[in-house]
Structure 1
Amino acid sequence: MTAPRRTVEFLDLVGQHDRLHDQLDVAWKAVLASGYFVGGPEVAAFEAEFAAYCGAAHCVGVANGTDALELILTGLGIGPGDEVIVPANTFVATAEAVCTVGARPRFVDVAPDTLLIDPDLAAAAVTPRTAAIIAVHLFGQMADMPALRAVADRHGLALVEDAAQAHGARFAGVRAGSAGAAAAFSFYPGKNLGALGDGGAVVTGDPALASRIRRLADHGRSPVDRHRHEVSGRNSRLDSLQAAVLRVKLSGLDDANRARAAVMRRYRTNLPVWCVPVTVAPAAQPVHHLAVVQVPDRAAVTAALDAAGIGWGVHYPVPCNRQPAFATYGERLPVVEAAADRILSLPIHPTLDHFQIDLVCDTVRGAQW
């Protein structure tokens, strides 16, 4: 039985896909007719197109965003005995990837205005065992990559982008995917560029790293002899159907991101003064994957939204450094822990209209506490 639609959906995938129905139908039929369901021409074409979109030379399609992070770390030779600096304000997949390759996450706090990794705190967290910094581009905004690059270069560290929420974002004119040694993207359906299922990609300008990652993701198989397995790898490949879907959506990604930006501008104008959106850094051009605000009483605001049939989310109510899975690595980080009690994600997607945005703002304004 289909669940009833809300007055305002938090994420309107049905509406977004309705607009693309004919194009997606053509893509599906082309894949079905080709007989290629893993790899093949659609995957190769998407890899080339997405690399160009990101301003990078290479893209390797993989099974999901978490795999992309793990493959980057493995391809860089990061493992047991290494530490990787990770902002505590991120989805747990970032920390999971570090642990999976045998390294140790070193959690650091975030800037209070953007809630993104603080470069000064990242610099202070470097130890002789530090091998990399993961810059998480959260909520659709890129981290301060020039400042993080300076830290990484000063200490000889790899700078990795977790760009799962930043398809098309820029910082100082540089697009996500071309600002670090490599970038991990997720194409989970709710992302700005989302598949019809799981999918991911590694984007890099380093041909040797791209080759290592492609080999690792395909069972360690030799690029010249498919029966020769040169390293112990894994099975992490992008499906042809998902690649075809992503090609359709990539052509309209910038327009969809502009629509998200318009939604966020209206929120900033119409929300009450006590409902404070995260700050956009002067050099940043975000793509507004999430509309994150801070409110004084989240329970009261979410109760009002529920009563009005308006969707909402929280990203993230428990920072990584306080998660039981990472208790061994946790330490108190005041900014992210205080923000976790106040943050709230409002609906944002390309199909929101002015009436719906204003309804959200009016409902938030009317919350009682």
Structure 2
Amino acid sequence: MGYLVVMEDPGMGSGGQERSDPGMGSGGQERSDPGMGSGGQERELGAMASRKLRHIDACLHGPVQYETVTTGFERYRLPYNALTQTNLSTVDLSTGFLGAPLRAPVLIGAMTGGAELSRTINRNLAEAAQKLGIGMMLGSQRIMLDDEVAAASFDVRDLAPDVLLVGNIGLAQLSESAIPKIAAAMDRIGADALAVHTNPLQEAMQANGDTDFSGSLDRLRRLAGALPYPILVKEVGHGIGAAAAERLRDLPIAAVDVAGAGGTSWARVEQLVRYGEVRYPAVAEWGVPTAQALTEVRATLPGMPLVASGGIRTGVDAATALALGADVVALARPLLAPAIESPAAALDALHGFIEELRVCLHGCGADDLPALKRLDLTRLG
């Protein structure tokens, strides 16, 4: 069975001729990637857009969730206070992130770009973000570097003039020659900050993935020095743990998105798109669970602004993540179907999530986010 339409493949954007997968390609013939293989750059760019649609389809209809690994949030319990002295209607969720004010500590996670459906998704989400006063990460802009037509799928500023808008490029795709193009892509969309995603496991599972990460930290340092934007480093759902955080310690970055395991497994998504099945289930279940990633990065980089993402599904998840040390949370896949449906559906999904978070603060006796962060969570087991 093949999977066609998205979640963002933060690294979903490698092009070029399909190549064999030494080491991972045994055990049956590899599925072809329509549009790949010949015809030069135009065919290559068409293949990127096609792959993005297949990522969307897999995330809508395929078994892309981790099956044995959880986020780890279930190991913590928020302290419920039956004698809360707060007023639900005045609980204050406002905060700031990357120099921008937010009415709630929520970002729309990176999803997609480069196809017409991607444009619909991004614009519907942007409209909701503007109304709610929250931030938005865009999907990988790799395709924008070579395709001006694809840039339209990232155009959301007209609908979201006040939103914290975060661009997105892959660590594996950074090069000296790409820096001017990245700067132009950021200017084109009116971004406020740039997310650089690192996704070695996903790229290893992708049919034509970029698997050479050697020297990538040096390239990241040069990029951060060359661009006038705050840089956020993120994973895509397999987690940033203590070892990775240590390597970020001396880099000129503004924030980290731990993007932990427990939500969507991109090693699973790529296998579904590539083979029509999860051929390597152990790899698909690999990663640093979100709660562990969050606590490890907070301990390693105590002053670093942190985003918690990876399996954030409810306001309770969000409140737990914030109490564990996150500054904001991000969610993506739960918003995919609503974003395809309409701006109103996307708004409704996000509004419900934010209001559940507000109820959690009220039930804990916290009237704002600093009060939530002062609470002691109960560790179960």
**TM-score after normalising by structure 2:** 0.29
* Larger of the two Rg values belongs to structure: 1
